[in-house]
Structure 1
Amino acid sequence: MFPFNDDPHTACIVCSHVLNKEEPITYISHDEDGMWQFLCDKEHSMDDARIVSLEEVYALDPSIGEVGDMPCGCYINKKK
């Protein structure tokens, strides 16, 4: 069962490092506008940003399901 209240096709911002499985997700944001962000702890430029579906990110890292009920406007920062 999909653990998010949002539609699986919800657009998300993911950094290329996470998408390429080079780095783990350390920052999760559920923005006020309903969009999600899943980033690593590296420095990022606009060139690092990718738009993918929420179900794609969940397939990459199912542990993000733990925050499936996070309200808009909240974030988690697990930087080292």
Structure 2
Amino acid sequence: MPINAMQSPIKGVIRYLGSQLRLMHLDKGFIQMQHEEINDSCHHFMQLRLGQSKQMSLILLHFTLASEISQALNTS
């Protein structure tokens, strides 16, 4: 499956997680803990959904998720 076909569900998950982080106005220590939990959840999600393209998708997801967390920290 090409990466483009997977971006829509991934972006939906990332947007949801990012919006939750911004809404909660979490302190940095708690966000770091949540980031680790989110990574575990996303890894599980990728294993279920993406099969062979998982590694590339995880790389894309981690970069985008890091960006969302950075934005959440800057807006809180």
Does TM-score exceed 0.5, indicating one fold? no
Q: Larger helix proportion, structure 1 or 2?
A: 2
**Bigger relative CO (Cα 8 Å, ≥ 6 apart):** 2
Normalising by structure 2, we get a TM-score of 0.29
Normalising by structure 1, we get a TM-score of 0.28
